[in-house]
Amino acid sequence: MAASVSEEQISQLERFVILLYDKTSECTYVNEARKVLFTKGRQIDRIPPTKAALKEHVKRATYQAGHI
């Protein structure tokens, strides 16, 4: 069973994750949000994951949900 997530869904998840880390952010891409938050002095563990890492998390969660 292959986990399938569209680019549109990834974009929506990116925006959601950005808002989890900074509810006033206007960023639409997690990599952009990471840069902005890091330059504001946020510690590395308090910024969102990279887009590549986010995609892998989403694929894993989708795969696990398919088996429950």
Q: What is the pLDDT of residues 24-44, one digit of tens each?
A: 999 999 999 999 999 999 999
CB burial of residue 2 (10 Å; 0-12, 13-18, 19+): exposed
Q: What is the pLDDT of residues 48-57, one digit of tens each?
A: 999 999 999 9
As a dihedral over the C-alpha atoms of residue 14, residue 15, residue 17, residue 21, rounded to 10 degrees, the angle is 130
